[in-house]
Amino acid sequence: MIEKDGYIRNLLQKSPGVAAEARGWVKTRRDGKGVHFIQLNDGSSFQDLQVVIDAGTVPEPTLAQATTGACLRVSGELVASPGAGQAVELKAREIEVYGPANPATYPLQKKGHTMEFLREIAHLRTRSNTFGAVFRVRNALSFAIHRFFQERGFLYVHAPIISGSDAEGAGRMFQVTTLDLMNLPRGQASVDYTQDFFGKPTNLTVSGQLEAEIFALAFSNVYTFGPTFRAENSNTPRHLAEFWMVEPEMAFCDLDGNRRLAEEFLKYIIAYVLEDCPADLDFFNKRIESTVLQTLEHVATSDFEHLPYTEAVHILEKARDGGRNWEFPVFWGADLQSEHERYLTEEVFRKPVVVTDYPREIKAFYMFLNDDEKTVRAMDVLVPRIGEIIGGSQREDRYDLLLDRIRAHGLREEDYWWYLELRKYGTVPHAGFGLGLERMMMYLTGMKNIRDVIPFPRTPGSAEF
Ligand code: 4AD
Ligand code: MG
């Protein structure tokens, strides 16, 4: 195992003149007159360690195997580097080849691969510059999320993956069963779920929210952070069938408090990643999306805009009357589509926008009904380039009203008995939201396709690796 000190990230900080040993994978190799150069990377930093091998120092057969993709241990001495881009380089004295990689067949060549091709070699794309940067940022982001909530006394809850209820009430679930649904017993027309593994229909969870509410009504402030699953057949650059969600839930909190926390949270995690991953973000800014750094720095320091849905619709209608062609029609009661969300955040306000108080018909059953009885205390946080990055609400904490909503949505009351009981015993105003981790990753990196910010994407028709 590499000790902390031995990572390339740390070797690059050392002064010339010390003995050093590095382990990693060869990114590129270049042969000069009487000297060979290897760019070695162990994933610890964007920057590679340049290894310099004078002719004759290592045996020919070893050198012959030290090609792109091979895994090596190199020991020698750190010396001042005459080349641009690094202060020190490693002058090799000895090389051990753990695993060679045939240069004729190694799929990850130096340049020119499309993101689509790299997705097909997800077992090797992790060694490329782009995906090295993506997954270091994802790591830093995850840590920042925990740190934000832990610093504020939130309890981390592990919500179940297998669930007996539909947390969003939208019916976009993957079923979990051990029954052979293709071959029902002779004479049986429909599935008998009492015979199934759990004795009832179950599915992969679409959200940990309902369970988080149970915990908030005992631990006050909590959050979940885990995988969630949606069987929406939408093949878009912003949707995954399996994605990670962070869901804080706060007792003694209303929609205003929820919105303020969301803003503080986004600013915190952006500031953390800016500080922790400067080289990776610099790469995204130069090579992927030239507005990344500017946008992030702007968001970290400016106040978010917030307005009710009704006002947002007015703005969109005005744009239409002024000649803007919406693909999806705008009227009070229609759900906001990506084109509308992006117009508000990119063109009208030019910063993150929180839209609140949506019509009850287009939002989930658990949201708090306003006094107008038409709108619910929902909020969506919209950001440039992405659109919706956070969805949340104040929850309906009144028993009778919640029961009405469950029935009105055509949901099975008996599936939600425990959720209803929370409103019977010690109910209290509470609120929370969900941040899609991959949407946040897209925002931080400028990556255009959500499949390229998660290690192994699951989308319609695709579950390799
Ligand atoms: O707006 P959503 O559906 O809200 C909920 O699930 C609530 N239970 C959250 C809560 O209040 N605790 O999803 C929340 C966020 C979205 O804003 C989006 O960022 C992300 O999850 N998201 C997806 N990300 C990738 N692929 C998908 N199919 C996604 N669906 C939602
Ligand atoms: Mg939503």
Got the DSSP string for 117-148?
HHHHTTTTGGGSHHHHHHHHHHHHHHHHHHHH
Residue 52, helix vs strand vs coil? strand
Q: Would you state the pLDDT for residue 28? A: 95
Do the domain assignments include residue 104? no
Q: Dihedral, CA atoms, 370, 375, 380, 384, nearest 10 degrees?
A: -130
Ligand 1 pocket, 205 CB below 6 A? Answer: no
**What letter does residue 184 receive in the DSSP assignment?**
P
Do the domain assignments include residue 183? yes
CB atoms within 10 A of CB 433: 24
Pairwise pLDDT comparison (407 vs 189), residue with the higher score: 407
Burial 179-207 (b: 16+ CB within 10 A, else e): eeeeeeeeeeeeeeeeebeeeebbbbbbb
Q: pLDDT over 70 for what percent of the chain?
A: 100
Domain count, the chain: 2
Q: Are residues 445 and 356 in the same domain?
A: yes
Average pLDDT, the chain: 96
Q: Would you state the pLDDT for residue 187? A: 82
Ligand 1 pocket, 239 CB below 6 A? Answer: yes
Q: Would you state the pLDDT for residue 184? A: 82
Q: Are residues 21 and 162 in the same domain?
A: no
Do the domain assignments include residue 143? yes
Q: Would you state the pLDDT for residue 111? A: 74
Q: Are residues 74 and 189 in the same domain?
A: no
Q: Is the pLDDT of residue 365 over 90?
A: yes
Query: pLDDT confidence of 74, banded at 50, 70, 90?
Result: very high
- How far does residue 239's CA lie from ligand 1's centre (Å)? 10
User: What mean pLDDT is predicted for residues 356-368?
Assistant: 97
Do the domain assignments include residue 376? yes
- How far does residue 77's CA lie from ligand 1's centre (Å)? 51
- Of ligand 1's listed atoms, the one at least distance from the Cα of 434 is 9
Q: Are residues 86 and 150 in the same domain?
A: no
- Of ligand 1's listed atoms, the one at least distance from the Cα of 392 is 11
- How far does residue 271's CA lie from ligand 2's centre (Å)? 25
Residue whose CB lies within 8 A of the most ligand 1 atoms, among 245, 247, 255, 441, for a mutation test: 245
Pairwise pLDDT comparison (112 vs 326), residue with the higher score: 326
Among candidates 356, 423, 354, which has minimal Cα distance to 389?
354
Do the domain assignments include residue 298? yes
Q: Is the pLDDT of residue 232 over 90?
A: no
Q: Is the pLDDT of residue 201 over 80?
A: yes
User: What mean pLDDT is predicted for residues 253-280?
Assistant: 98
- How far does residue 390's CA lie from ligand 1's centre (Å)? 7
Q: Would you state the pLDDT for residue 16? A: 96
- Nearest C-alpha to atom 2 of ligand 1 is from which residue? 391
Q: Are residues 445 and 359 in the same domain?
A: yes
User: What mean pLDDT is predicted for residues 409-436?
Assistant: 96
Query: pLDDT confidence of 420, banded at 50, 70, 90?
Result: very high
Q: Are residues 53 and 150 in the same domain?
A: no
Q: Are residues 307 and 372 in the same domain?
A: yes
- Nearest C-alpha to atom 24 of ligand 1 is from which residue? 436
Q: Would you state the pLDDT for residue 119? A: 96
The residue out of 99, 117, 138 marking a domain boundary is 99
Do the domain assignments include residue 398? yes
- What's this model's pTM, rounded to 2 decimal places? 0.97
Q: Are residues 332 and 444 in the same domain?
A: yes
Domain that holds residue 272: 126-452
Ligand 1 pocket, 248 CB below 6 A? Answer: no
CATH assignment of the domain containing 269: 3.30.930.10
CATH assignment of the domain containing 78: 2.40.50.140
- How far does residue 390's CA lie from ligand 2's centre (Å)? 7
Is 248 in contact with 149 (CB distance < 8 Å)? Answer: yes
Query: pLDDT confidence of 84, banded at 50, 70, 90?
Result: confident
The residue out of 64, 81, 99 marking a domain boundary is 99
End-to-end, the C-alpha distance of the chain in Å comes to 26
Q: Which of 60-74, 151-165, 174-188, 273-287 has the lowest mean pLDDT?
A: 174-188
CA quadruple 192, 193, 197, 201: dihedral sign? positive
Do the domain assignments include residue 462? no
Q: Are residues 156 and 273 in the same domain?
A: yes
Q: Are residues 200 and 239 in the same domain?
A: yes
**pLDDT for 299-327, tens place per residue?**
988 899 999 999 999 999 999 999 999 99
User: What mean pLDDT is predicted for residues 67-79?
Assistant: 97
**Whole-number Cα distances in Å, 180 to 3, 177, 191, 459:** 50, 8, 9, 24
Q: Are residues 218 and 303 in the same domain?
A: yes
Q: Are residues 58 and 142 in the same domain?
A: no
Do the domain assignments include residue 65? yes
